Structure 1
């Protein structure tokens, strides 16, 4: 019986067909002008061709840069000037994307692709960043300025990451991973692509997210691991009460942004399934995953460290703190990017230190479980009192009418920093209603100066809310 490797809306590939497509695809990329050892940007959506295209480039010993198709002119120009990829491999229709300038385009009849792939050669420029020797993969994540940060990984990093995930989640050949999240992002690539290649399991891809269809897939008994994000679980809770499904999945994962405990408990109460928060970053790979049997006892935890990952919590001087005490989360693992940042602000590079990667996340340990409470640099200084945006968000999202919330610190009329919140609603409510809810649960200095009710909140390519103080006016 043939083992299915990839399932996508366009079709399926068994393991033998996947290897064959990668072999033939490598030859066609070579014929299109990609030499051995080049740095190539892979900019594909979730599709049947993604995994074989990645493998085809690796057959050519290429350093592969994963580029989100949602990137636009500013991000693409920063990447082109910073790391100077020889070419971009993308869909034929994406060649018209703003910022994807071309001096030459070669169309490739790639095996298993629903349409021709395009190899776009941009105008030549001198690379402004140094790519460390041994780099085989570049991931990109948004920096504090909104410009992409490039992160360099070698073969050992990827092998360690794959091993940590496969062993940590107990993935085997009989598992099926359902991934509606982008494979070009660290979450989808590591837990989807690397896991498929390491364990020989099945990777099922979705190009979009439809709540009812997702619940049907999860109740079918075929899917064993689901790669979700908070917005997906919120959308399932917003479905009419007549929608009934019981997910039969070993791991319902949630990553890329914190998931409030209230959503976890509400989802379990309605659907009978526990959502496991998975904590990691583009720089570190997988760090922790919750234990399904422990989720309801600790719904606000992100779980325990995975595999060979060592996690510590340190004070401002870098010294470990006692269990229960908050500090900065530091991660040490063979999966942490060997080359650090190759593109980004100089200040970002200080996160990589001999003792591990300083995540910038505020966390604490209790009984071996990690709890993450926000970002070190997100703390809002209200008259000398420090306010965690995460804590305010949790209170806002515990109000029944609030679907999603974001909190930032902004300057008030007198120049003082104040708490600003923006929310979306699932049913009618007023700012006064929401503030009354906050007053019963927050200290006076933590209460938002304003709650802005919006039809939607800005999200980045991975679904994470990206509300910036400079975009807010009181």
Structure 2
């Protein structure tokens, strides 16, 4: 098994003088970084940390956080990454799912509990084979804890380089906190590959441009502020990294068009994946021009299987639950063996997304099995309506929910953010595209969508706007 910190140590031996890590204050070569990792590991051991223990790490998004992360791995520990701006109540919520052995903040390392943590092991044999304790986003409710092995990430690093044409000279910008695994992955990939990882303590458009990186992974929420920044400075020559990788909510064609106009030299990729499966498909700029409604093609290392409710493979073009066979699969959910077992089938893993594989092999995500709305006796997939809404010019954001209704049991509800278009015009445009039973009956028009710290849409908060104002069909918030 390829341990991540061992791969990074090998890279330190190959390029000791190469620049490895930097933030607004510090710059470390590979040899300097490894020296810092060894010193931090010694600090952990002197405090009494043992192999296989769980360490909650809560630090700003900087060089010290990465050094501390690697020190925990080198000591044989597992890292629970927490955003350093979480409230006490939020930390308590995470610790109620799983209490760590240690809490490591910038100025303190505190023992929380003595007992070894019981964590799910499916493909590995020991706790020390695990490296990451993560949490699902909790965007629609309470987050779940999950664990990943070293191999689940290290096995995919070379393919990541190949897909995005990344080489040793590349500079990888990390604009959001590494508690979001889609930000942590590019850092560890960069350090295992001899690249330079640049940490942003706080995201600002000016910082993105000033760092002059060649690659960065972002969430769709970051695109709008980048566009506004450029539009407000038409005479300044501003270049984004040549490779921009978007993960999270699917980008609408209108957003992609705005991005291409503002940054004609940058290549905008999207990838589809999850905590359970890793990255599954990639939508290249070329494919996005011809098939914008898809999430692209499966990467070479995964085998895709789409099954119906009876566990039988469906024909191409038919809907079913997406399963993949991949080395990136997670080990399981913490203290939830039922949900873990539901996520695996004959060596395949799923995050319970409903998908269609088209005849050309590309994948379209229809929705999640938990996001199916029963409207007028028929099934409506929330993500399908969200995608159609986002294709309407002037709809910049959309989220669709099942809303409790006294007469119909449940109806379709939609929250949207509008630019130079009225709700009436949106409804007219949607009516031309879908059957009447799929049209939302309850609407909320927001000035912007609330976001979680990782940049994802906070659907739980948006949903509360429907429950708090039950019975109203339209509100401007």
Shorter-chain TM-score: which interval? 0.7 to 0.9
Greater shift in the superposed pair: 417-426 or 374-383: 417-426
Q: Is the 8 A contact 1:163 1:198 kept in 2?
A: no
For residues 36-435 of structure 1, what are the structure 2 equivalents within 5 Å? 36-73=51-88, 75-91=90-106, 117-122=107-112, 124=113, 129-132=118-121, 133=126, 134-142=129-137, 146-190=141-185, 192-214=186-208, 216-217=209-210, 222-239=212-229, 241=231, 243-244=233-234, 247=239, 249-272=241-264, 273-337=266-330, 339-344=331-336, 346-347=338-339, 349-366=341-358, 367-427=360-420, 429-435=421-427
C-alpha contact (below 8 Å) 2:139/2:459 kept by paired residues: no
Larger displacement relative to structure 2 (380-389 or 434-443): 434-443
Change (3 A) 1:397 1:208: farther
Q: Assess if the C-alpha contact under 8 Å between 1:42 and 1:90 holds in 2.
A: yes
Q: Which residue in 2 is equivalent to 1:5? A: 20
How far does the alpha carbon of each residue in 1:85-118 deviate from its partner, in whole angstroms, 9 at most, with x for none? 1111123xxxxxxxxxxxxxxxxxxxxxxxxx32
Report the CA distance between 1:151 and its aligned residue. 1.7
- Distance in 1 of aligned mates of 2:369 and 2:149: 29
Contact 2:277 2:350 in 1 (8 A): no
Q: Distance in 1 between matches of 2:110 and 2:156?
A: 30
Stretch moving more, 50-59 or 433-442: 433-442
Separation in structure 2 between the aligned mates of residue 144 and residue 351 of structure 1, nearest angstrom: 19
* Secondary structure, aligned partner of 2:459: coil
State the TM-score, normalizing by the size of structure 1.
0.84
How has the CA–CA distance of structure 1 residues 307 and 172 changed in structure 2, closer, same or farther, with 3 Å as cutoff?
Answer: farther
Deviation at 1:441, TM superposition (A): 3.2
> Cα–Cα, structure 1 residues 343 and 256, in superposed 2: closer, same or farther, change >3 Å?
farther
Unaligned runs of 5+ in 2: 1-14, 471-477
TM-score normalised by structure 2 residue count: 0.83
Equivalent position SS for 1:184: coil
1:246-296 deviation digits (Å, cap 9, x = unpaired): 746442111022222332233223432442111111122222222333331
User: Gaps (5+ residues) in structure 1?
Assistant: 92-116
Aligned pair count reads 441
SS in 2 for 1:462: coil
Cα offsets for 1:298-350 (capped at 9, x unmatched): 2233222234222222222222222222222112111111x211245843541
Deviations 1:202-230 (A, max 9, x none): 1112233323553x35xx8x422220111
User: Could you say if the C-alpha distance between residues 346 and 72 of structure 1 is closer, same or farther in structure 2, counting changes exceeding 3 Å?
Assistant: farther
Separation in structure 2 between the aligned mates of residue 408 and residue 440 of structure 1, nearest angstrom: 21
CA distance in 2, matches of 1:346, 1:145: 20
Q: Compared with structure 1, are the counterparts of its residues 54 and 128 closer, same or farther at alpha carbon in structure 2 (3 Å cutoff)? A: closer
**Could you say if the C-alpha distance between residues 125 and 448 of structure 1 is closer, same or farther in structure 2, counting changes exceeding 3 Å?**
farther
Secondary structure of the residue aligned to 1:67 is: strand
Task: Sort the Cα spacing of 1:403 and 1:295 in 2 relative to 1 into closer, same or farther, 3 A.
Answer: closer
Root-mean-square deviation (Å)? 2.8
Q: Residue 18 of structure 1: CA displacement?
A: 0.9
Aligned to 1:112: none
The one of 35, 56, 59 aligned to 1:20: 35
Compared with structure 1, are the counterparts of its residues 6 and 351 closer, same or farther at alpha carbon in structure 2 (3 Å cutoff)? same
CA contact (8 A) 1:83 1:127 kept: no
Using the TM superposition, give the Cα deviation of residue 73 of structure 1 relative to its aligned residue in structure 2, in angstroms.
Answer: 4.3
Post-superposition offset of 1:128: 7.9
- TM-superposition CA deviations, 1:45-68 (whole Å, max 9, x none): 311112111111122111222233
